[in-house]
């Protein structure tokens, strides 16, 4: 069984080198130093947009919960998974990693 991730108190910070281009409703993210380009869905786009290193994670959870009607626990799982995806795609600063639940 995969261990659940703890959310950080604040949203991680997007790497300065990451470039974002918006085309109508699509978001394309370039990670030049890794020669990568990624198309993000609406959910990942929302999360990346919130990755400023300052926004409280609880604020994002509340906004998504209020907007979708999903439970807090489900939104926290989704958000942790989304942060992990962005981290694995080299879009977040190295200190954006978080620890597994005990």
Distance between CA 31 and CA 86 in Å, rounded? 11
Express each pLDDT in 15-25 by its tens digit: 888 888 887 77
Q: Low-confidence residues of the chain, pLDDT below 70?
A: 1-5, 30, 95-102
Domain 19-93 superfamily per CATH: Coenzyme PQQ synthesis protein D (PqqD) (1.10.10.1150)
pTM to 2 decimals?
0.80
Distance between CA 20 and CA 25 in Å, rounded? 13
Sequence-distant (≥ 6) Cβ neighbours of residue 21 within 8 angstroms: 27, 28, 29, 30
CA angle 63, 80, 58 (to 5 degrees): 35
Separation of CA 36 from chain center: 17
- pLDDT value, residue 51: 94
Structural domain spans, the chain: 19-93
Sequence-distant (≥ 6) Cβ neighbours of residue 32 within 8 angstroms: 17, 19
């Amino acid at each position: 069984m995969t261990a659940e991730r703890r959310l950080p108190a604040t949203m991680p910070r997007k790497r300065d080198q990451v470039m974002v281009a918006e085309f109508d409703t699509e978001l394309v993210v370039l990670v030049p130093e890794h020669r990568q380009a990624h198309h993000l869905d609406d959910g990942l786009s929302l999360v990346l947009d919130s990755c400023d290193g300052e926004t409280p994670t609880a604020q994002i959870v509340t906004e998504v919960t209020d907007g979708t009607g999903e439970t807090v626990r489900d939104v926290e799982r989704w958000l942790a998974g989304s942060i992990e995806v962005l981290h694995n795609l080299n879009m977040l600063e190295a200190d954006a990693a978080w620890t597994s639940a005990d």
